[in-house]
Amino acid sequence: MGVSGSGKSTVGRLLAERLRVPFLDADEFHPAGNVAKMAAGTPLTDDDRRPWLELLNRELQERKNAVLACSALKGSYRNILASGLQECRFVHLHGSIELIRSRLEHRRHRYMPASLLKSQFATLEPPAGAIAVDVGQAPERCVEEILAGLR
């Protein structure tokens, strides 16, 4: 979990490969209305997010194990994601706003403009008990830290 541009998809895919489990990218599950709002530079509300988070929770419940790349910025969002799961571990990918902004400015994302980054940092509630990984290092090194934290 983490703000846009923190490396969730890249690190998540690598982690899923190492763990030999399915990888789910939460961005692929957003309804069209959410995508349109974000593409227009409008932050999503909790009401916008709830059905999406509930869908992600159902997707996780259908799998024995999986890695999900999802912003999950608030504790209430993480509670929805983890609801009813036998086990759920969160990994917080974090970095400075300058590093993340630089990443966003150098990538193409179909609907997440860099202009929404400030609102994401304002919304972020860092999770207690999560595996915290600084993303100012290579994705492979991030995965090694996560694997060490899962042991």
Which tens digit of pLDDT belongs to each residue from 65-81? 999 999 999 999 999 99
For the chain, count helices (H), then strands (E): 7, 4
Instruction: Provide the 3-class DSSP secondary structure of residue 139.
Output: helix
C-alpha span between 146 and 14 (Å, rounded): 11
Q: Tell me the pLDDT tens digit for each residue of 123-151.
A: 999 999 999 999 999 999 999 999 999 98
CA gap 115, 87 in Å, rounded? 35
Q: In this structure, is the dihedral angle defined by the CA atoms of residues 69, 75, 77 and 80, taken in order, positive or negative?
A: positive
Tokens standing for residue 137: 């290092």
Q: Is the pLDDT of residue 111 over 60?
A: no
Please state, for a pLDDT cut of 90, what percent of the chain lies above it. Answer: 76
Average pLDDT in the chain: 92
Q: What is the average per-residue pLDDT within 4-23?
A: 96
Coil, strand or helix at 17: helix
List b or e across 77-102, with b for residues whose CB sees 16 or more CB atoms inside 10 angstroms: bbebbeeeeeeeebbbbbbeeeebbe
pLDDT of residue 114: 63
pLDDT mean over 33-38? 89
Q: Which domains does the chain have, with CATH numbers?
A: 8-150 (3.40.50.300)
